[in-house]
Chain A
Amino acid sequence: MNGAGPEVSFTRLGDAALAVGTPGARALLASLRDSPLPGVQEVVPALHLLTLLFDPLRLDPADLEAALRARLAALDLTAPAGVGAARTLAVPVRFGGRGGPDLTWCAAHAGLSEGAFVEALCAAPLEVAFLGFTPGFAFLTGLPPGLRMPRLDAPRERVPAGSVALGGPWAGVYPSATPGGWRIVGRTDLRLFDLSRPEPVPWRAGDRVRFEAVPAGQPESA
């Protein structure tokens, strides 16, 4: 199975951007990172989609489409995704308490005890689908259906940095204090946008993520 099947769609967004919708988006992103196409300035992932910003003076969108079709045709989508390139990031989380005000509600909604809910969430093989909304905010896929939570009817005006939250099909961690409509189940000390580090954002699309429960009252990291 290759990636250039009929399920690929191209959408021109103005004269300098092209969106590629494909189930092979993740593999195509890895391919474009390894071997960039000349004239493409940025590749921005979303779910099953990449948007390419390009220089229209260097690149004709029809040629870009053809190059992307060729890339997709050469990709082997049956290969395990991201082997070698993908990293695994463990996120230490204190679940519940003041840092996780919605844990009780979420566990009840899932029909589980809080302990079983946390256990199931920590067992979920999550993956960074893409980053957006705010610098370092990752949309994490891989939640089992039973752990998917409806968003709040009215977003909170301020969600503290480090809040671990569930919304629709996604899990996520708020890198900075922002308004937010997801249900907050815990808090991490891991900084997801820290300009004092050489790599300010510790994850990128394709990385694997695991939540690790830290007992209450214990520091999450040294």
Chain B
Amino acid sequence: MSGAALIGVPLIEVRRPGLQTTVQDAGRQVRALGVPAGGAADPVARRLGNALVGNAGGAAGLEVTLGGPTLVFHGAALVSLCGAPFDAQLDGEPFPLWRAVAVRAGQTLRVGGTPVGARAFLAVRGGLDLPEVFGSRSTDLRGGFGGLEGRALRAGDLLTVGAAAPLTPRRAFVAPDLHTPLGPEQVLRVTATPDLTGPLAAALLGRAFPVGAQADRMGVRLEGPVATPQDPGRVSVPNVPGMVQLPPDGRPILLLPDAGTHGGYPTPLVVIRADLPRLGQLRPGDRVTFRTVPLPDARAALHAQERALRQAEGSLRAWSGPALYAGRHAD
């Protein structure tokens, strides 16, 4: 690290917290202890945002939800905002998304709302410096741990940024075809599980479900109940990312990163891995249609997505020098 590195400075002051702004990174892997995964709900935005500022893909940043925060920078920083097209201003001037932007000490970043999608990831060069809990800095709101005191940001909070050599932003940006698709009509590719009976397939496939008001980091509730078979003797089994759960009221729940580790309801569909980032961008009023795909197609989609992402991450990092990343990789 160079002598000019920032070490342990409370750099970002939260003036207004926004609707629900939390510290997130790539999440944790301790489901076996009953601990949810956590992590940024749109991992594509997290990875590309971090790459833009020269961070490892799993560095901690801020996840912004529907209404963004107002942040005062008490030191110079290199930041990026990736995800839904939030209206954002730096000292009143438009702040571009999907780019690395140099912020000077004393400047104020105001993140407003977004017309589509739900979340964005604010990455800061060096990453947010907070204690790790089970190997992650992600905030678990329900458990009340991780991130900043296990809660969403509040006015007056101070965030410290990790040490990193200064970096001059280049004119690099992220091609739009890499962004997580947004919009009111979402087709989610799914595979079936043995819980998908004939009647359930008829009820769940080939129709659009509106996203209800209950949409948070644990899950997204869909409206339009389907007749749900109930088996009170059913035992709890592990949940997996992207599961579609059918509780007794018949309104399907799409599981997001903070979902509980186990559940006892039928789970007839699982969203394919390549489409998981879309779940983090669903907002009330969007409409979701499930389309089953064969497993090889799911794998091919993930391959294509991962290849493009790694290529983009590689080229964004190429200009910030390889030495910074040796020995530290996430994703």
A135/B29 in contact, CB under 8 A: no
A51/B238 in contact, CB under 8 A: yes
Closest to B189 in A: A15
Alpha-carbon distance A6/B329, docked complex (angstroms): 42
A139 at the interface (CB under 8 A from B): yes
Q: In the complex, which residues of chain A have a beta carbon less than 8 angstroms from the beta carbon of B74?
A: none
B193/A15 in contact, CB under 8 A: no
A111-144 interface code vs B (CB 8 A; 1 in, 0 out) = 0000000000000000000111111111100000
10 A-B residue pairs with Cβ-Cβ distance under 8 Å, sorted by A, are A14-B190, A14-B272, A17-B241, A44-B238, A44-B261, A51-B240, A53-B31, A132-B34, A176-B143, A201-B35
Partner of B34, one of A49, A56, A133: A133
A14/B240 in contact, CB under 8 A: yes
Closest to B303 in A: A57
B15 at the interface (CB under 8 A from A): no
Known: A14-B242, A14-B272. A131 touches B32 (CB 8 A): yes
B184-205 interface code vs A (CB 8 A; 1 in, 0 out) = 0000001101100000000000
A4-33 interface code vs B (CB 8 A; 1 in, 0 out) = 000000011111110100000000000000
Alpha-carbon distance A204/B303, docked complex (angstroms): 35
B88 at the interface (CB under 8 A from A): no
A135/B35 in contact, CB under 8 A: yes
Name the interface size band of chain B: 35 or more
Known: A46-B262, A51-B238. A15 touches B34 (CB 8 A): no
- Which among A47, A130, A136 has the highest number of chain B CB atoms within 10 Å? A130
Q: In the complex, which residues of chain A have a beta carbon less than 8 angstroms from the beta carbon of B241?
A: 14, 16-17, 53
B211-253 interface code vs A (CB 8 A; 1 in, 0 out) = 0000000000000000000000001111011110000000000
B191/A132 in contact, CB under 8 A: no
B240/A17 in contact, CB under 8 A: yes
B91 at the interface (CB under 8 A from A): no
B191/A135 in contact, CB under 8 A: no
A57/B32 in contact, CB under 8 A: no
A61 at the interface (CB under 8 A from B): yes
Known: A47-B235, A130-B262, A132-B238. A14 touches B191 (CB 8 A): yes
B151 at the interface (CB under 8 A from A): no
Alpha-carbon distance A17/B143, docked complex (angstroms): 25
Partner of A136, one of B34, B191, B240, B306: B34
List 5 extra interface pairs beyond A132-B261, A133-B262, CB under 8 A: A15-B298, A45-B238, A131-B33, A133-B34, A134-B260
- Which among A45, A51, A205 has the highest number of chain B CB atoms within 10 Å? A51
Name the interface size band of chain A: 35 or more
Q: What's the least CB distance linking B59 to chain A, in Å?
A: 20
Q: In the complex, which residues of chain B have a beta carbon less than 8 angstroms from the beta carbon of A46?
A: 235-238, 262
A49/B237 in contact, CB under 8 A: yes
Known: A13-B243, A41-B29. A132 touches B260 (CB 8 A): yes
Alpha-carbon distance A43/B236, docked complex (angstroms): 15
A79 at the interface (CB under 8 A from B): no
Q: In the complex, which residues of chain B have a beta carbon less than 8 angstroms from the beta carbon of A138?
A: 34
Alpha-carbon distance A14/B295, docked complex (angstroms): 8
A36-58 interface code vs B (CB 8 A; 1 in, 0 out) = 00000111111101010100110
Closest to B271 in A: A14
B145 at the interface (CB under 8 A from A): yes
Alpha-carbon distance A17/B32, docked complex (angstroms): 14
B273 at the interface (CB under 8 A from A): yes
B133 at the interface (CB under 8 A from A): yes
B272/A11 in contact, CB under 8 A: no
